[in-house]
Amino acid sequence: MTDMSDMELLRDYSQQGSEEAFAVLVQRHIDLVYSAALRRVGLAAHAEEITQAVFIILARKAPQLRSDTVLEAWLYETTRLTSLSFLRGERRRQRREQEAYMQSTPPESSEESTWQQLVPLLDDAMGRLGKKDREAMLLRFFMNKNLREVAAGLQVTEAAAQKRVHRALEKLRKLFKKGGVVSTSAIIAGAISAHSMQAAPVPLTKSVIAGALAKGSVASGSTLALIKGATAMMAWTKAKTAVLAGAAIILAGTTTAIVVEHMLRHFDPGPKSSEVTVEDIFKHLDTDPKSADKLEGLSANLIIRPTQYPMGGVGFQTPSGKSVAVNTSFDQIIRHAYGFATSARMILPAALPKGQFDYLNSFPVHQRDELRAELKKQFGLTAHTETRAVDVLLLKVKEPEKLKSHLVQNGRPGNLGTFKMSQGLANDAVTGFESLQLAELLETIFQKPVLDQTGSGSFYEWKSKGEMDATLKNKNHEDKWRAMVDEFGLELVPSREPIEMLVVEKVN
């Protein structure tokens, strides 16, 4: 069984329930997870809890992982996000510690001293790399695989793998330079190869296997809370679904004159969509109930252009990650490019292209790099994730019994709820939603990150349309939503928290 690939082992576990296969996976990768967690949180006990949480998440999500997943990269990214969730819960200000550390540490050229400087910066820098670059770095320098093995893992030729590794390493070097670490790519590569992996404690492996196979049923309350926070953060990062099923893209308000007159277009009509054109999708986006099906069937297209339609901003994202919008703002296109659910978690430059745009991207979601490359090439825009302390709203339970009265009695409803505000009232009752979904929607309303701290995964519903109308009558826009939150027995509490933000920058 030790000769089987990661994905073969994972399929053996998810489909056959093989505990032996999962144990092999844990033994194979626990050092990677533990080392990454330890760098982030600094204390072995905290790193062990994060390691436990990561493998529980793996056990739960095993059936959902694609066959081409590079498991080392998936585990590393999950560890990074779980560590961020932990640090947020502990309210630790790691960024300040990093800055203080760098100010007190003189630059040296040796591999050992370089590693000491890299430690506080490494995982944030890795998080800023693209998916393929991060996979290449992990396989080559964290796991110390040769180029042939890297090529096999990435499913490319050795020459392509070598080019990818070189490019990723150079990107890291530049990121470290911005953080105050001046060194060569060779020294950085050597430092990471020599020091990035630490052996996890032997007893930890056994407890991780047992806890993960139980999928968290025997985990402590703190570990379960950590898993919930990490899973929510993963959902934010991937953003594979729309904020709510059927919800329109929220636009950024009034517009100014269009100054960008450029259209990007890669068009291949393809045999699948001979009866469907891009213009047909754009033109009937707000009236055709089959628009999503048509977009799913469309061959690879990428279009960004000044809007040609006067209709209000309309758009959606399909389950496979294809997206379309009419009369939308440019920041919404950036949001789709980097997989952020709302603009509230984006820090934008002042000189974004003005006006409204039509946008269509029918490339598969795993080819999002195509859109990012075009934004960089044509508009000089790039972006990276960064943990920053920002003003947020905490969604909390204020009146448990009141919330309980809205609980869906028969489990998950068949149709997730749609919130609509028109002329001061809600036109449609809410048929069902989770608290996390409500938090996501509230972000678009208040344009501020909303963190779900209700601790609930249940579904809730309004009892009647009349109840909603009575609640929201004669209130301004934000007060309507605060009143709705109050009617559910919830509250929005202002706070300041370190969260992952998307920083968009102009390329010189």
Asked whether the beta carbons of 179 and 121 are under 8 A apart, the reply is yes
Number of C-beta neighbours around residue 279 at 10 A: 12
Cα–Cα distance for residue pair 73/70, rounded to 1 Å: 5
Asked whether the beta carbons of 467 and 500 are under 8 A apart, the reply is no
Strand partners, 386: 501
Specify the pTM. 0.44
| SS3 at position 379 | helix
- Supply the DSSP symbol for 62: G
Sequence-distant (6+) residues with CB within 8 A of 440 are 243, 244, 341, 342, 450
Asked whether the beta carbons of 84 and 236 are under 8 A apart, the reply is no
Nearest residue to 126 (alpha-carbon basis) of 117, 136, 112, 116: 136
Strands ordered across the beta sheet of 450-452: 346-347, 490-506, 381-397, 450-452
Digit-by-digit pLDDT tens for the chain (508 residues) are 778 899 989 888 888 888 899 999 999 999 999 998 888 887 888 888 899 999 999 988 888 888 888 999 999 989 988 888 787 665 444 444 444 444 444 444 455 677 888 888 888 888 788 888 889 999 998 888 888 889 888 888 888 888 899 989 998 888 888 877 888 888 888 888 888 888 888 788 888 888 777 776 666 777 777 777 777 666 655 543 333 333 333 323 323 222 233 333 333 333 343 456 788 888 877 677 777 778 877 877 888 888 887 665 677 777 667 888 888 888 888 888 887 777 889 998 888 888 888 888 887 655 667 788 888 888 889 998 888 888 999 988 898 888 777 765 544 443 333 443 333 334 444 445 566 667 877 888 888 999 888 765 555 665 444 555 555 555 566 777 788 788 788 899 999 988 889 999 988 6
Tokens of 443: 């972000």
